[in-house]
Structure 1
Amino acid sequence: MAYDYQLLMKHVLETGANYAPKQEIVYRDIHRYTYRDLYKRVHKLAAALEELGVKKGTRVAVLEWDSHRYLECYFAIPGMGAVLHTVNIRLSPEDLLYTMQHAEDEVVLVYKDFIPLMEKLADKLGTVKHYVVMTDDKMPETKLTDLEYEELIKKAGRDYEFPDFSENTMATLSYTTGTTGRPKGVWFTHRKLVLHALCGCIAMCGLRSPLRLTGDKEVYMPLTPLFHVHGWEIPIMMWLLGYKHVYPGRYEPQMIVKLVLTEGVTYSHCVPTILQMIVDNMPEGFKLPGWKVLIGGAKLPEGLARRAREKGIYTMAAYGMSETCPALTGAFIKPHLLDMSEEELVKLSVKTGIPFPLVYARVVREDMTDVKPDGKEMGEIVVRAPWLTDSYLKDEEKTKELWAGGWLHTGDIAVIDEEGYITIVDRLKDVIKSGGEWISSLTLENLLSLNPKVREAAVVGVPDEKWGERPLAIIVPMPGVQLTAEELRQYLMKYAEQGVITKWAVPEKYVFVDELPKTSVGKIDKKVLRQKFR
């Protein structure tokens, strides 16, 4: 009888360990070991968790910065048939508590920084049976538990043998950031994770882009939290490809730069605000030797891409969502476009892009017919792929909205050009409806980012008696520069005269601030801005 091969994360673990057993994994300037060491520890961790009562279907929560321990959890917990709940440690305590209660977590692995928070919430977490403390040094004093991660692994009585089960078994659970109401639970099966990782490898190594992995000695460091949609699952792709991993722990600019230089980091991924922080903190005249940084989570402004390029950082935009595992599109270069000028390639690199392998992406009107591929008509992006979440956990009503018409609705408004490249122009909830016309806040933000006096820009719709809404630009100027509202209005009017935007889109009002509010995953928080400037 033929073996019924299921797409399970245990096979991914075996593949990387067999291909690159001596490859390094580094954690800050504290710890380094090999793929083979991780492989052994993953089996020990599973054995230790089994002794705590973890079995198929058990929800195991992890509250941790980006570390080698997190990667161990990614393999050990789903490998047992249990569910890895990657807790968003940047949520408000109230929302974090809600996600853990909603998930019905039974075992919690918690890094020492988050022990005070867990001590406050513990009496409200009735389903939790065990807490295990993760630490880089000695066990802190806590009334939560006397169980410590390293001690559990050391004392594990035997190596665990990962079982076979259906590839449609739930493997991971995470929660949307709750910018609209309570966070919603999104979950992924083993099959979805494996297919997503394989197609990600094809995209990163095969499809043409400024970030294409062509070197034999690429060094990878995530700058997107591993709790956020599996760190885009790039750690798993890099494991399959046998590249060196560097984990920075808590994100601190000095530690990040130190690791990039000492460990020779060549590939990372982050949201635009992290890239902005890095570029702003680099000394004048300092240049990196071709660091590749994939940008997602929010639109990559062209001005920021150009400033990064001047510092030796190659960037490319990609697009996905918590509900989509997350990869959907990237600004890959179609083969017949490879001879474009450098100027044209920079403009292409900040587009939302074309679909990853096996992804179908459309831009549709309200009646689900496709918009014209003219780069002008706006519609909503709807998608299909083999790794999208099937439903929101315990939420049938929101699931029906998500999957209306058999396509996953992203809530992102976009245009598509004749080459099939998609460009997001706004979130459905952020698009500004003024006098019956739609105004794209992202287009205005991108143009403002190209002004050398502008460090960051956000545009939101504010109530207007006559027109319903008008755009308001909130600006963080570059340090030490003088900037006026009229100067910016005239600057945008030049783009209106060139036909890039309409004169109607140019804001009349501009507000100057020291910083913009950010969400728990580093995106500009427009909900806060709308409330503040209503």
Structure 2
Amino acid sequence: MGFYNYNLTIDKILDYGSTVYGNKEIVYRDLRKYTFSSFRKNVESLASSLQKIGVKPGDKVAVVDWDTDVYMTAYYAVPMIGAVLHTVNIRYPPEVMLKTVIHAEDRWAIVRDEFVPLLEKGKSFLTNIKGVITYSDNKEKVKTSFSTFDFWELQNSGEEVKPVDVREDAQATIFYTSGTTGDPKGVWFTHRDLVLHSMSVALTTSKPPLKTSQDDVFMILVPMFHVHQWGFPYVTMLVGSNYVLPGRYDPAMEINLMKREKVTFSAMVPTILYMILSHPEAARNQDVFKGWKVMIGGSALPSGLAYMARKSGINIAVGYGMSETAPVLTVAYYTPEVEKLGEEERFLQQIKTGVPIPLAQVKVIDENGKEVPRDEKTVGEIVARAPWLTRSYYKDPERTEKLWKGDWLHTGDLAIVDKLGYIRIVDRDKDSIKSGGEFIPSLILEDIISNHPKVGEVAVVGVKDEKWGERPVAFVVPKGDVKEEELREYLIKHVNEGKLQKWWIPDKFIFVKEFPKTSTNKIDKKALRQTLSS
């Protein structure tokens, strides 16, 4: 007997949410609904069944699924018995997806019926897999040649969970970064990382302009395989907000769910917001967007899309982070100085990259490691420290050393800082365009072009040039009949206003129907560059 050493583990989040907000709800499409307290029973039942079939502490459990109640259950049940949740990126090409399962050394897999054939194809390589847990929405048994268990049977037949002494520094999750440069890299996080990150995100989103509370209904449109769905499956239990799971993404379904479940808060990348707002159903359901609070991350928010959202009555705040940072580092919430500003000035601040969230230390540094001045001109790299950053790339010491150079995590994102301390990303290091030895910030160019009334989406990339080294080329998804000359004249106007340099203007404008997307729904600039070089 004596002092109890309290560990910050994921089960504590579930215990709090189900105890204090027991009647709050988790909703999966129009198929299933649970209170927080009945969800906890399901989690504990599944956890005990996983123990019974032989899942041991340290075993990695892959989940191959859309954003469902099954996935949400695994988010809690797997780590709470000391096993490690591997959120598999289902948008990877099949061979890359299997490669991550092999590299992670997964022992078990929870697989939705439609993904079983994919696993079957790679069976000869998956010698490490001990057992597969399958399910279908209609609860019919799934046929597979793997040693298999039915998810619903496991969830319904569990008893009391055998206590496991899970330490807060035990690994809880692993997943792989989007791999836009080379093979995907494995990043992993402990229970303590995820608890502290979730608490910080909950505290941050409660600040204006988002002001989330127990009265909100969350529907997060970030895939559950992508960086813990930005932490919101855990945040919802801390805040006490209802949680809506959309399954496979479909803008019409999402708009319908918003209407039916009275969704008030979402998080997503800019392309998902654009797909929703430009969908035919959006025009017929304008009322659902009024007062909708949206946290944007993943890639820079073009101000044209931000204004389009504001016109629909949406209140936006930008967040920033990366796979290696669990992910959130900054959010453009209102500091006291920003709260004093006028409405338009406040809006311009909340669509920047933002300021650090509690416990995160974020700096923009020059090549000598010194912080750049707050002049909104000097470009530097964003570096970070926080109690939830990945310690290393899984089984990759070489890239880990580069990531943690000088005891700061190096993001590879280039940014400027304004006088109020708000960071604004101007480019990714790998996307930056060097022309005649000078830097052209592609995100500033994209931002200005996005405000043209006939531009839907835009991406600027560099193409090799004999004279200048590189020159910018703009790819545009038009909203109407727009000519290249119109866009040139529009940019010249901004040159005359001192908003950009004349030599930044793209040499070429290429009009496309849609953009290639990465596995996390960002515009794939690597693919665009390849079309220019082919």
The question of a shared fold, defined as TM-score above 0.5 by the shorter chain, is answered with yes
Give % identity: 48
After superposition, the C-alpha distances for 1:148-190 in whole angstroms (9 at most, x for unaligned) are: 100112223x210442332110000010011010000000001
| Structure 1 residue aligned with 2:32 | 31
| Structure 2 residue aligned with 1:144 | 146
Aligned-partner SS, 1:304: helix
| Structure 2 residue aligned with 1:237 | 235
Which runs of no fewer than 5 residues in structure 2 stay unpaired?
none
After superposition, the C-alpha distances for 1:20-47 in whole angstroms (9 at most, x for unaligned) are: 1111111100011111111111111111
| Structure 2 residue aligned with 1:444 | 445
Letter matched to residue 346 of structure 1: F
CA distance in structure 2 between the aligned counterparts of 1:140 and 1:201, rounded to whole angstroms = 38
The answer (yes or no) to whether the contact 1:196–1:387 under 8 Å persists in 2 is: yes
Structure 1 residue 371: Cα displacement:
1.4
Matched, 1:505 2:504: yes
Matched, 1:458 2:459: yes
Structure 1 residue 94: Cα displacement:
1.4
After superposition, the C-alpha distances for 1:339-372 in whole angstroms (9 at most, x for unaligned) are: 3222212211210010000111111112211112
| Structure 2 residue aligned with 1:488 | 487
| Structure 1 residue aligned with 2:258 | 260
| Structure 2 residue aligned with 1:468 | 469
CA distance in structure 2 between the aligned counterparts of 1:107 and 1:315, rounded to whole angstroms = 39
Equivalence map 1:335-484=2 (5 Å): 335-478=336-479, 481-484=480-483
Closer/same/farther in 2, CA of residues 264 and 439 from structure 1, 3 Å limit: same
CA distance in structure 2 between the aligned counterparts of 1:117 and 1:472, rounded to whole angstroms = 38
| Structure 2 residue aligned with 1:226 | 224
Across the aligned residues of Structure 1 and Structure 2, the Cα RMSD in angstroms comes to 1.2
Structure 1 residue 140: Cα displacement:
3.3
Structure 1 residue 316: Cα displacement:
1.2
Aligned-partner SS, 1:297: coil
Letter matched to residue 3 of structure 1: Y
The answer (yes or no) to whether the contact 1:43–1:161 under 8 Å persists in 2 is: no
Give the count of matched residue pairs.
528
The answer (yes or no) to whether the contact 1:364–1:380 under 8 Å persists in 2 is: yes
Normalising by structure 2, we get a TM-score of: 0.97
Aligned-partner SS, 1:230: helix
After superposition, the C-alpha distances for 1:104-155 in whole angstroms (9 at most, x for unaligned) are: 1011000112111111112211100101112111223333344210011222
Aligned-partner SS, 2:317: strand
Which runs of no fewer than 5 residues in structure 1 stay unpaired?
none
CA distance in structure 1 between the aligned counterparts of 2:148 and 2:329, rounded to whole angstroms = 43
| Structure 1 residue aligned with 2:211 | 212
After superposition, the C-alpha distances for 1:384-414 in whole angstroms (9 at most, x for unaligned) are: 0000000000000000000000000000000
The answer (yes or no) to whether the contact 2:130–2:147 under 8 Å persists in 1 is: no
Letter matched to residue 348 of structure 2: K
Letter matched to residue 181 of structure 2: T
Letter matched to residue 488 of structure 1: L
After superposition, the C-alpha distances for 1:200-247 in whole angstroms (9 at most, x for unaligned) are: 111111x3x321215x42111110011100000012111111111111
CA distance in structure 1 between the aligned counterparts of 2:22 and 2:361, rounded to whole angstroms = 36
Normalising by structure 1, we get a TM-score of: 0.97
| Structure 2 residue aligned with 1:286 | 286
The answer (yes or no) to whether the contact 1:489–1:508 under 8 Å persists in 2 is: no
CA distance in structure 2 between the aligned counterparts of 1:337 and 1:220, rounded to whole angstroms = 26
Aligned-partner SS, 1:413: strand
Aligned-partner SS, 1:283: helix
After superposition, the C-alpha distances for 1:49-93 in whole angstroms (9 at most, x for unaligned) are: 112211110000001111122121111111111100000110111
The answer (yes or no) to whether the contact 1:79–1:162 under 8 Å persists in 2 is: no
Structure 1 residue 284: Cα displacement:
6.2
Closer/same/farther in 2, CA of residues 212 and 13 from structure 1, 3 Å limit: same
| Structure 2 residue aligned with 1:134 | 135
CA distance in structure 1 between the aligned counterparts of 2:233 and 2:148, rounded to whole angstroms = 30
The answer (yes or no) to whether the contact 1:10–1:162 under 8 Å persists in 2 is: no
CA distance in structure 2 between the aligned counterparts of 1:365 and 1:94, rounded to whole angstroms = 39
Letter matched to residue 502 of structure 2: K
Structure 1 residue 285: Cα displacement:
8.0
The answer (yes or no) to whether the contact 1:302–1:346 under 8 Å persists in 2 is: no
